[in-house]
Amino acid sequence: MRSSLIACLALVPWAACTQQPLNDAKHRATPTLESSSYRDQLLSLHKQLVSIPSISGDENAVGNFLVDYLTARGYHAELQPVAARQGTPTSKQRFNVLAWKGERAPSARIVVSSHIDVVPPHIPYSISPGEVTSETMIKGRGSVDAKGSVAAMIVALEQLHASNAIATQDDVMLLFVVGEEVAGDGMATFSHSLSKMKKPPKFDAVIFGEPTENRLACGHKGGLFCSITARGVPGHSGYPWLGKSANDLMVRALAKILDANLGSSELFGNTTFNAGRFDGGVAANVIPEKAVVQFAARVATGPEDKGHEVVAERIQRILHQVDDEAFEMDCTHGYGSVKCNCEVDGFEKITVNYGTDIPNLAGNHTRYLYGPGNILVAHGARENLTVADLEEAVEGYQKLIVHALTQ
């Protein structure tokens, strides 16, 4: 029976400050690689990964596939249990997958990591008909975010092992986690397991796989994820002065928040605010007693551990200005802007606005963020990338692994 990972390791003025890529993507040509020696392996692995549904909370099948795939290729693969998400079947075990060459407990210097969960709904795998070329397009949920990274990472490491480019087999570990798309509970579980060890491993570097258009990210914005509740006094809509509309209060507050300076920086641009969901009232002719907004702010300022707190304080002040009694804000989690190492020869640079598992892994390691595909098509109905994107990512991950090992 497969043992757990823990047991194994126990062995406005600011409106002009918009974020821009560090290189102009409009002038970046897609490479037209000749067919690589590993193309068949890469496309087959990618197809199998994308074809297996793995919406956050139900990642069991794709995790088991990876364990079998890696074990068959000489890896020692371990499972690390992760608690079931509320509202999902508890009969299906959730787990992270950790794998390395060799049988002994890993003493890895480098961790290569991405996530195996995806957002809903599942979209079947498809590939453009005809002869496969570098421009052939592949579609399906997770084809970009982030099973493209997972496939390219595995093939990249396989190529390095085959060419004996890694002196010690267990210098590099693969870590594939669950739950990144929701709250990062997979990476948080892995990080917590390390903190409980008497002698936790000290990684030199961790390479995180996310869609960066095969450019090396200098970092990403932080996040603040909260709900705001406004409470009013219900009544007949014909006599609004006799009640207090929670919806009116919320609309006024949101307008002020959207116009406010929530923080900006030269690298990441503005902090942005998205009111993703608004629920208020019971009927058109009733003064609403309660309104609730769920929001996600993308935090452009640091430090990583406290930057989000500044944004929360600024929002809270606005709520008090609108009404000092009506509002309550409840935040689930947050973090400030995240910086990564992007000073590696041979890579174009970028900054991104989305969140990653980087802040969920504690430690004083160098952090790299890189992967195939464009975030603008991820999470959408037409999530896609090309064969060239995947092959370029294999080459990029090899460069990053070798670079990290030589530092």
Residues 18, 24, 28: CA angle, nearest 5 degrees: 150
Distance CA 2, CA 267 (A): 44
Residue of 59, 78, 158, 180 marked active site:
180
Nearest to residue 399, comparing CAs of 342, 361, 320?
342
CB distance 347 to 404 below 8 Å: no
Active site residue 266: no
Is the torsion defined by CA of 140, 142, 143, 147 positive or negative?
negative
Q: Please say whether the beta carbons of 364 and 119 come within 8 A.
A: no
CA atoms within 13 A on the CB side of 243: 22
What sign has the CA pseudo-torsion 17, 339, 350, 313?
negative
Q: 180's torsion region: left (phi>0), alpha (psi -120 to 50) or beta? A: alpha
3-state SS class at 101: strand
Residue type, 16: A
Helix axes 387-405, 39-51, angle to 10 degrees: 100
CA dihedral 237, 243, 244, 247 (to 10 degrees): -20
Between CA 172 and CA 259 the distance in angstroms is: 47
| Amino acid at the residue 71 | T
Phi-psi region of 399 (alpha: psi -120 to 50; beta: other; left: phi over 0): alpha
Exposed (0-12), middle (13-18) or buried (19+): which is 194, by Cβ within 10 Å? middle
Residues contacting 166, CB < 8 A, separation 6+: 160, 172, 401, 405
Catalytic residues: 180
